[in-house]
Structure 1
Amino acid sequence: MTPGEVGAHAESLAGVKRKGTTTRPGWYVDDRLVARLADPTTLVVRVPLTEREALLEAHPRTFGVPPRMESHHKVEVYLDRADPAAVRRALELAWNFQRRS
């Protein structure tokens, strides 16, 4: 999956806006982080801890949680080997988690 595909899906979600720089874009809803590109092949997505384990178990090649993120509502996505449907699902979880109803 490419950063462009990530951006296209994120921006298709109601209220999501792109911020950041060309090399490190981020997508926000209600000024709250949904996802941001950490580097060309790594995306950080904000997901509820209750959903994170299911993502990791179902898609261990797509998602990971480095030690620095263990206590945070975040997961890394490895775009160069990601399952596109799983990434879209994570973005939707993040969008729902971060938006103000």
Structure 2
Amino acid sequence: MYQITVATWRDFGNQLGLTDFSPETQDRIATAILMSLKVDIFLKNNDLGGALSEASRRWAALPQGPDLPNRHPPQPYMPFDTFKKNYEEELQQGDHK
């Protein structure tokens, strides 16, 4: 649900000491970006809408929250209900790993 650009990789990859552009490296960068936006605080408080409000500032394909569009029209985005369903499924799968 995110795209790490070369410019973002340069910024965060250098900070994190990364040397490749693998999917795992991109996941680490995405996590670092989300942490810098304090999204984890919203998620720990079970506030997915608040988390998306912050994350959508960085990623155009995310909605701002329940019943809200993305911040970057006309960029396509995933509706909140679809995102929430996918998020909850991933959480459940994580519990079984």
TM normalised by structure 2 equals 0.30
Higher RCO (CA 8 Å, separation ≥ 6 residues): 1
Larger radius of gyration: 2
TM normalised by structure 1 equals 0.29
Greater strand proportion = 1
